[in-house]
Structure 1
Amino acid sequence: MKKISYLLIFTFLTSCTSNTIFKKPKDLIPKDTMSLLVQEMMIASSSKFIKNKNLERKINYMPLVYDLFKIDSIRFQTSNLYYMSKIDDYQAIFEDAKANLERKKAILDDLKKTKDSLRTDSIRNSNKKPILIDTLNKKKERELPNNVKDLKVKL
């Protein structure tokens, strides 16, 4: 009985450790294209809950990503499964995608910061304009001769 239980435990432990690497599909998506595809898919999946121009939410943008790269979901799934079996390549693809997304985010943050600073400057200037006009009017009154000021007050 003990021998059978040891045999079962040994077979169970050896069957759990499988390093399955799938065959390379004939229509495999290249690594750099896969990285770009993953970037676009991350953007598409995160924009699902943001309102678009028509104020609609919960729109699936994945078909648009597939159309952009001229692939179908089956080709993506087979390529994704192949790269998942080669974890080093898969991790490199995702790290590249993450780095590119962070660069894009930094560029967009700088652009937003510039637009916000321009907006705050324009708001500050719009608030200062009446003050500037009042000070210019006062300067003009100071420059006027005394008899003109008297006429202005009498009117």
Structure 2
Amino acid sequence: MKKIILLLSILIIISACSNKNEIPKPAKPIDKAVMENILYDLALLQALKSYSPEKLTKNSINSKTYIYQKYKIDSLQFVENNKYFASDIETYKLMFENVSNRLQKEKIEIDKVLSKELKVKTKKSQDSLEKIVKKSKVIARG
């Protein structure tokens, strides 16, 4: 009898400990891919806010309002969905890794464009300097 009581009490303790407080699915669910896009946009807006806040102010952009309007959601819907996705830490971690990878790819593309622009500007500057040098040689000879 003691063994049965001990076994039942162990089962009760195990079931009580393993009982997750699962977050219910939101009333207005946001697709995982859309949520990743929202997190991506929020990361970009946060970076812009940190790097050049006057640009947001100058263009009258409130980052949260912008996100809500762009994705046609409200603050409650965002909070509920964010909480829901965050309750599954592995999924949430994967979403942030995807956002991070996407940001990294964008950075590489932007760096390539900036590098090309710098080469063009450098070439133009060199051409201009060569013209000036040639003109000064002609003037010096004359």
The separation in 2 between residues aligned to 1:37 and 1:53, in whole angstroms, is: 18
Q: What's the Cα RMSD here?
A: 2.8
- Give the TM-score, by structure 1 length: 0.69
Partner residue of 1:104 out of 94, 103, 106 = 106
1:48 aligns with 49
Greater radius of gyration (CA)? 1
1:4 aligns with none
Contact 2:49 2:56 in 1 (8 A): no
2:33 aligns with 32
Higher relative contact order (CA 8 A, sep 6+): 2
Contact 2:24 2:84 in 1 (8 A): yes
Contact 1:66 1:72 in 2 (8 A): yes
Amino acid at match of 2:42: M
> Helix, strand or coil for the counterpart of 2:55?
coil
Tell me how far 1:19 sits from its aligned partner.
3.5
In the comparison of the two structures, how many residue pairs are matched?
124
Amino acid at match of 2:35: M
The separation in 1 between residues aligned to 2:19 and 2:87, in whole angstroms, is: 11
Q: Any runs of at least 4 consecutive aligned residues in structure 1 with deviations exceeding 4 A, and if so which? A: 15-18
Contact 1:25 1:78 in 2 (8 A): yes
**5+ residue gaps, structure 1:** 1-14, 142-151
2:88 aligns with 86
The separation in 1 between residues aligned to 2:56 and 2:40, in whole angstroms, is: 22
Identical-residue share of aligned pairs (%):
23
Tell me how far 1:16 sits from its aligned partner.
8.8
The separation in 2 between residues aligned to 1:25 and 1:61, in whole angstroms, is: 23
- Give the TM-score, by structure 2 length: 0.74
**5+ residue gaps, structure 2:** 1-15
Q: How does 1:115-134 map to 2 (within 5 A)?
A: 115-134=117-136
